[in-house]
Amino acid sequence: MDILEIILIGIGLSMDAAAVSLCKGLSACHIRVRQSLLVGVYFGGFQALMPALGYFLGSAFEVYIQRYSHWVSFILLLLIGANMIRESFEEEECCDASFRFGSLLPLAVATSIDALVIGVHFEAESYNVSQLLLSVAIIGAITFAISAVAVWLGTVVGSRYNRAAQRVGGSILILIGLKVLLEGLGILNL
């Protein structure tokens, strides 16, 4: 694979993270640059970590990764999306817009599980360690940038239309989870 292919893979892998980052921004009343960068670090970091992990797990776990990753992503995104929708009906002015470890970790994991398969592919293509490091650095950097911008954009929209934006954001997370599940089950091929 050449650099352009890795960049395209990075952009493709970052789309779920971008949508979830946008939704995270929708739930925040205000955001600081530090928080936007933190979201980028979580999503970019996990998007880089998962292919590396898939590479080292290799073909030994390929069947399990492909068999169950869509279920894990679906359940995490369903729970997070449903919670966003539930919080939008509460009387608080701002819903939980936490940028803590426990809040960002499940989102980062859910959006990066599909990248495990890319790592298995890298191993099958006989990537050496330097090719792997370059690839995961590009994937992580792209996801970092897209996620950091997306959470900021979500905040801009969310500050104006907070409750409606949270309902839409929660619904989007649930739909992304459903899409991942249907693709994993072979029902939907996009």
**53 vs 23, which has greater pLDDT?**
53
pTM for the whole thing?
0.72
User: Which pLDDT belongs to residue 94?
Assistant: 42
User: 71: pLDDT confidence band, cut at 50, 70 and 90?
Assistant: confident
Most confident of 90-94, 101-105, 139-143, 157-161: 139-143
Q: Is the pLDDT of residue 28 over 70?
A: yes
User: Which pLDDT belongs to residue 161?
Assistant: 67
User: Which pLDDT belongs to residue 179?
Assistant: 85
Q: Provide the mean pLDDT of the chain.
A: 82
User: Which pLDDT belongs to residue 91?
Assistant: 57
Q: How far is 113 from 50, CA to CA, in rounded Å?
A: 7
**Percent of the chain at pLDDT exceeding 90:** 23
Mean pLDDT, to the nearest integer, of 165-174?
Answer: 75
